[in-house]
């Protein structure tokens, strides 16, 4: 399978900020190419990702009970994916499962959904569709769980599971990087964050502090969050940094 077009791959984890509650996914896939692609693309989409190449390590990882959703390939070297799902279910693991399979027949799909899968995607697949299905599964998760994955300041709401932001109920079209930046500002609402703090936490890499990358992204973010007529939430503290607050 060749990666879907339009997806830029960045260094794994570059967008992930420490100290943040992130949605954690388990990918069970033995095909190295698909495994690597999924890991990088899901990381870029803002999720935390664990990978297992066989059923045995998948079971060990799943037993920790730390995953919000799983993506499971059916053709695994040591066990059929359906048997793996059945085993995890019998051990009380209720995290939603997206089945990934080359088996396309209706019977196979039905069997997958009956044996504990929540959704089914056939290979080859477009990453955008996989992402949409994962988001849907997460959204369908228990309301309390979904609620705990939301952050709010004034009429701005961030849905961490779906990596979506809304202002006054209207969805903002943000890039993954812009979302991470906004998430960092919201988590520090009312506190001034410096450019260096933003570089450390959002880009998580050493960049020349003289770079204007933060200012450029704040500018773009502001044009989307604080549009005409909306009460500004992102404020510049000259010579220091930025603060997100309701004034």
> Which of residues 124 and 209 has its CB atom nearest to Ca ion in the complex?
124
> Which of residues 102 and 205 has its CB atom nearest to Ca ion in the complex?
102
> Which of residues 76 and 225 has its CB atom nearest to Ca ion in the complex?
76
How many residues make contact with Ca ion (CB under 5 A)?
A: 3
Binding to Ca ion in span 95-114, by CB under 5 A: none
By CB under 5 A, residue 27 contacts Ca ion: no
Backbone angles phi, psi at 193, to 5 degrees: -115, 135
- The answer to whether residues 190 and 154 touch, using CB atoms and an 8 Å cutoff, is no
Site map (CB under 5 A) of Ca ion, residues 44-83, x = contact: -----------------------------x-x--------
Q: Alpha-carbon distance 24 to 37, whole Å?
A: 17
By CB under 5 A, residue 30 contacts Ca ion: yes
Region binding Ca ion by CB under 5 A among candidate stretches 26-34, 149-157, 186-194, 231-239? 26-34
Shortest Cβ 30–Ca ion spacing (Å):
5
Backbone angles phi, psi at 218, to 5 degrees: -65, -40
Task: Find residue 52's DSSP bridge partners.
Answer: 28
> Which of residues 30 and 200 has its CB atom nearest to Ca ion in the complex?
30
Residue ranges in contact with Ca ion by CB under 5 A? 30, 73, 75
């Amino acid at each position: 399978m060749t990666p879907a077009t339009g997806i830029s791959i960045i260094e794994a984890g570059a967008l992930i900020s420490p100290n943040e509650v992130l949605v954690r996914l388990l990918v069970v896939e033995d095909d190295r190419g698909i495994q690597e692609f999924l890991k990088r693309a899901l990381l870029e989409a803002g999720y935390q990702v664990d990978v297992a190449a066989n059923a045995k390590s998948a079971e060990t990882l799943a037993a920790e009970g730390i995953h919000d959703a799983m993506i499971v390939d059916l053709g695994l070297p040591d066990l059929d994916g359906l048997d793996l799902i059945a085993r995890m279910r019998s051990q009380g693991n209720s995290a939603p499962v997206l089945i990934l399979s080359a088996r396309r027949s209706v019977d196979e799909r039905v069997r997958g959904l009956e044996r504990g899968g929540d959704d089914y995607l056939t290979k080859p697949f477009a990453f955008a569709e996989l992402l949409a299905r994962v988001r849907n599964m997460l959204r369908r998760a228990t309301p309390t769980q979904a609620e705990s994955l939301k952050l709010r300041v004034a009429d701005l709401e961030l849905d961490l599971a779906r990596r979506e932001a809304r202002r006054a109920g209207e969805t903002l079209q943000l890039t993954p990087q812009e979302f991470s930046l906004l998430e960092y500002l919201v988590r520090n609402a009312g506190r001034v964050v410096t450019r260096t703090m933003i570089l450390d936490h959002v880009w998580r890499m050493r960049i020349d502090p003289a770079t204007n990358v933060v200012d450029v992204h704040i500018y773009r973010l502001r044009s989307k969050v604080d549009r005409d007529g909306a009460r500004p939430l992102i404020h510049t503290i000259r010579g220091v940094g930025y603060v997100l607050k309701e004034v």
